[in-house]
Structure 1
Amino acid sequence: MPKNKFQEVIFTIIMVFFMVYAMICYNISLNIGGMSNEVFLSAFHELVIMGPIAFILDFFIVSKLAFMCAARMTDFRNSHPFSKILAISVASVAFMCPLMSLAATILFKNAGSQFVAVWLQTTAMNFPMAFFWQLIYAGPIVRFIFRHIFKENEATSLNT
């Protein structure tokens, strides 16, 4: 896990890419009625917009809130490290999903007078996908990549 601000930035960038890209693919598939190869390319156009939004929200607001909520869910000092990771992941999705659904509703949905209803529906449709994608795929993949990028630092810190 990140040990300093630079590592936090790198971790957040990688997580944003995996989460936002997958969620954009999911939402495009919902909008067109199914998955197709074109979805993967189309998603990159939205990623340019939604990626920076997700980074700003996560890095400056949500990560701190998620950590505080996770600390209330589990005792970080006396519990297994997996409990900490799980609690932070659950709290992150709980905050990020409604916020990113709000951004998508504002930018892509043309909700008009039905704004609140469209935002709530978007959040409800996105939450199960975001939750399971984060816990089962994105989280483990990103932590694996991150560990391998900063392998040298972890080996050094273990010897000191």
Structure 2
Amino acid sequence: MPKNKFQEVIFTIIMVFFMVYAMICYNISLNIGGMSNTVFLSAFHELVIMGPIAFILDFFIVSKLAFMCASRMVDFRSCHPFSKILAISVPSIAFMCPLMSFAATLLFKNAGNQFVAVWLQTTAMNFPMAFFWQLIYAGPIVRFIFRHIFPEKEGARQTASEM
């Protein structure tokens, strides 16, 4: 989808917002024993901290690793667009979830000498939510928004068979 570095930055910012905000709401809900309206406002306080961390990790490290993994799974020139999305999204989730769970454990969990156990538990609790939220909601919403910010020109659009 992104065609240049500027578009990559914009795409990453939008994705980080949707993913990190939802994951913070999820974790606050787990911590307080359920969802409430106050969770949505409380999440913005952590988003200010976790958002930049997620952006840096994703933009500079994880997106490159995910793309390398994806390019080993599918041929980008001939695969169906959905296969390409899955091939990039799944490794991205697999790398980002433990990294962001590590940051959250370090910054918010007060794990002390149980750090590794708390981090592993946090990762295990976060992974199913991150996986399904990304594939079913955040990814499609972000791609929809991105397509409307940066519409492809009619002449520039190619089908998979033309590539």
Give the TM-score, by structure 1 length.
0.96
Indicate yes or no: 2:132 matched with 1:135. no
1:43-82 → structure 2 map (5 Å cutoff): 43-82=43-82
Match of 2:91? Answer: 91
Q: Using the aligned pairs only, state the percent identity.
A: 89
Could you list the per-position Cα deviations for residues 8-55 of structure 1 after superposition, in whole angstroms to 9, with x for gaps in the alignment? 000000000000000000000000000000000000000000000000
Structure 2: state its 5+ residue gaps: 159-163
One-letter amino acid of the structure 1 residue matched with residue 69 of structure 2: C
One-letter amino acid of the structure 2 residue matched with residue 119 of structure 1: W
What is the distance in 2 between the residues matched to 1:17 and 1:159?
28
State the 4+ residue runs in structure 1 displaced beyond 6 angstroms.
Answer: none
Match of 2:161? Answer: none
Match of 1:30? Answer: 30
Match of 1:158? Answer: 156
Deviation at 1:159, TM superposition (A): 7.2
Give the TM-score, by structure 2 length.
0.94
Give the aligned length: 158
What is the distance in 2 between the residues matched to 1:84 and 1:72?
11
One-letter amino acid of the structure 2 residue matched with residue 79 of structure 1: C
Could you list the per-position Cα deviations for residues 54-99 of structure 1 after superposition, in whole angstroms to 9, with x for gaps in the alignment? 0000000000000000111112122111101111000100000000
